Amino acid sequence: MPTTQDALSTALDLNWIRSQFPSLAEKVNGYPAAYLDGPGGTQVPQRVIDAISDYLKHSNANTNGAYATSHRTNEIIAGARSAMGDFLGCDPDEVVFGLNMTSLTYAMSRAIGRELGPGDEIVLTLLDHDANFAPWEALAERGVTIRRVAINPADCTLDMNDLAGKINSHTKLVAVGYASNAVGTINNVKEVVRLAHAAGALAYIDAVHYAPHGPLDVRALDCDFLVCSSYKFFGPHMGVLYGKGEHLRRLRPYKLRANTNESPNRWEWGTLNHECIAGITACVDYVADIGRRVNPSISSRRPAILAAYDEIVKYERSLCERLVVGLRTIPESRLYGIADPGRFEHRCPTIAVRIDGHTPLELSTKLGERGLFTWDGNYYALNLTEQLDVEKDGGFLRMGLFHYNTVDEVDRLLVALREIVAR
Ligand SMILES: Cc1ncc(COP(=O)(O)O)c(C=O)c1O
C-alpha cells in the first residue's frame, strides 16, 4: 500500500488547504494533531478567526442603529445571508440564523406543531441524530401520532420500504437526516421529499452531517426545510435553517413583538451572534476558494462551491476506502455501515467501529495520547446505538475524514489501532 500523499491523486491543493488551518500545526505528546473528530465539529481556517475578531474590533454593535458600526453590522449579516444562499442554493431571505441546529429545529417544531393535533402524523427515522427526532417526537403531547422508520441493520441504511409504508394521507411532516453522523449513511433524501410531497406532507432535512462532505441544493431537492450547523463546515458554532419562503412567511413562530413579521426576522429572536455570523461568510468563501483553485476559470461563488465539492467528494472517498480496507486487516474490528467501496457514493467518510476486547472510550483515549483525535459513544444517534445494541457497551469508536485530512494521518491511525489491539 503506498504511504505518501502522492499515492492519492487529487485536484485539491492540499498544501494550500492545510496552510489555511492554524490548528493543524498543534502537537500532542510530540505527535502532530490529526483531527479525525470533524463529525463533532471541524477545524476553522484563519480567515474565519480573522472575520470574527475583525467584527469585534471594527463593527461591534447592535443592529438597526443610526451610526457606522450598526450599519456595518447590518451589512455583515446581509452578506452572510447571501453567502449561505450560495451555499444552499436559495434566496438570502430564506436563510435563518440561530444558536445551533437543535434550537432552530425546536423553534420550527413548535411553530409547525401549533397547527397539528390528534389524527395528524409525523414520520421520523431511527437513523437520525436525536436533534431531528426529539423536537418532533415532543408533538406527541398534542396528540400527534409519531411513526418511526426502521433501518437495515446489516449496512445501517434506511429501510425505504418501511418509510414509504409509514407515510399516508395523515402524514403532515417527514423529518430525515441527509447523512448519519454515526455510521455515515447518505440517505436518498430526494426520494424522501418526493414521497412526503406525494402525501401532502412537509419534508424537513437535517443536513448537519452532510454539509461538509457534499454540495447542498435545496431547490433541486425541493425540500421544505433544511438545517445545518456552520461549525461542521469549517465555520463558527452556529446553526442555519433554510425554509421555503412561502413556509417562513405563512407559519406562525412564537416570537417577541419586537421582531417584525418580515421573514427571516420573525424567526430570529433576540440579538444574534454577530461575530460568528461574520465568520460564516468567511467559511463559505473558504469553500468557494477551494473550487476557484481547482478551476481558476470559475469566479462566482455558487459554481465555485460546487467545483470544490466535486473534488472534496472524490478525495474523501479515496481516504475512506483506504481506512476501510485497512480496518479489514484488524480481525478484531467490526465496521458498522456500508463497507463495500463500490457503494461508497451512499456513505460519508465517517467510520464507526467496535474492536473486540476494547471499549470505544479506551480506544479513543489511547489514540488521543498519540495525537489522533477520534470520538467514542453515541454522538446523540441514540436510537441507532440502542437498536444495534451497542449503547450499553460504550457505542462506537468514530473516525471522521475531511478534505484537510491526509493519507499519512489515515496510515498513522491504522498503525496505532494495530498496536493498541496487539497489546
Ligand atoms: C446529524 C446531526 N444533526 C444534528 C446535530 C445537532 O446540531 P447542533 O449541535 O447544531 O444542534 C448534530 C450534531 O452533532 C448532528 O451530527
Q: Which pLDDT tens digit goes with each residue over 160-173?
A: 999 999 999 999 99
Determine the average pLDDT of the residues in 363-378: 97
What integer pLDDT is reported at residue 8 of this predicted model? 75
Confidence of residue 1 (pLDDT cuts 50, 70, 90): very low
Residue 207 in this model has a pLDDT that exceeds 90: yes
Distances (CA, A) of 397 to 1, 2, 36, 90, 335: 24, 25, 11, 36, 10
Model confidence band, residue 6 (pLDDT cutoffs 50, 70, 90): low
Q: Please enumerate in sequence order all residues whose Cβ is within 8 A of that of 328, keeping only pairs 6 or more positions apart, or say none.
A: 335
pLDDT band at residue 263 under the 50/70/90 scheme:
very high
What is the rounded (10 degree) CA torsion for 407, 155, 128, 138?
Answer: -160
- What is the pLDDT, as a whole number, of residue 58? 98
Give the pLDDT score at 9. Answer: 82
Residue 181, ligand 1, Cβ within 6 A:
yes
Q: What is the pLDDT of residue 3?
A: 42
Distance CA 46, CA 274 (A): 18
Q: Say how many Å lie between the CA of residue 68 and the centre of ligand 1.
A: 36
pLDDT of residue 2: 39
Pairing of strands 157-158, 239-243: unpaired
d(CA 210, CA 348): 7
Q: What is the pLDDT of residue 232?
A: 98
Kindly state the average pLDDT of the residues 177-201: 98
Q: Whose CA is nearest to atom 4 of ligand 1?
A: 131
Cβ 177 under 6 angstroms from ligand 1: yes
Contact 101 CB / ligand 1 (< 6 Å): yes
Mean pLDDT of the chain: 96
Rounded CA separation 345/374 (Å)? 23
pLDDT at residue 147 is higher than 50:
yes
- pLDDT for the residue 39: 98
Distance (angstroms) between ligand 1 centre and the Cα of 131 equals 6
Which atom from ligand 1 is nearest to the alpha carbon of 229? 10
For a pocket test of ligand 1, which of 189, 205, 226, 380 has the largest count of ligand atoms closer than 8 A to its C-beta? 380
Evaluate if residue 83 carries a pLDDT over 60. Answer: yes
pLDDT exceeds cutoff 80 at 7? no
Query: What is the percent of the chain with per-residue pLDDT over 90, rounded to a whole number?
Result: 96
Average pLDDT over residues 222-233: 98
**E-strand stretches of 114-261:** 121-125, 145-149, 151-152, 157-158, 171-177, 202-206, 225-229, 239-243
- Checking if the pLDDT of 181 tops 80, the result is yes
* pLDDT higher than threshold 60 for residue 56: yes
Q: For residue 297, how far is its CA from the centre of ligand 1 (angstroms)?
A: 35
Average pLDDT over residues 342-349: 97
| Residue 96 to residue 269: CA distance in whole angstroms | 10
Amino acid residing at 178: Y
What percentage of the chain reaches a pLDDT higher than 70? 98
The mean pLDDT value for 256-265 works out to 91
- Residue 275, pLDDT above cutoff 50: yes
Cβ atoms < 10 Å from Cβ of 319: 20
> How many angstroms separate the alpha carbon of residue 178 from the centre of ligand 1?
12
Output the CA 382–ligand 1 centroid distance in Å: 12
Name the region of 337 (left: φ>0; alpha: ψ -120 to 50; beta: rest).
left
Residue 143 has pLDDT above 60, yes or no: yes
Cα–Cα distance between 284 and 289 in angstroms, integer? 9
Confidence of residue 423 (pLDDT cuts 50, 70, 90): confident
Copy the grid coordinates of residue 356.
Answer: 473486540
Q: What is the pLDDT of residues 124-140, one digit of tens each?
A: 999 999 999 999 999 99
What is the whole-number distance in angstroms between the Cα of residue 179 and the centre of ligand 1? Answer: 11
Residue of 322, 316, 340, 328 lying closest to 155 (CA atoms): 340
Which ligand 1 atom is the nearest neighbour of the CA of 206?
3
Establish whether residue 131 lines the binding site of ligand 1, counting it when its CB lies within 6 angstroms of any ligand atom.
yes
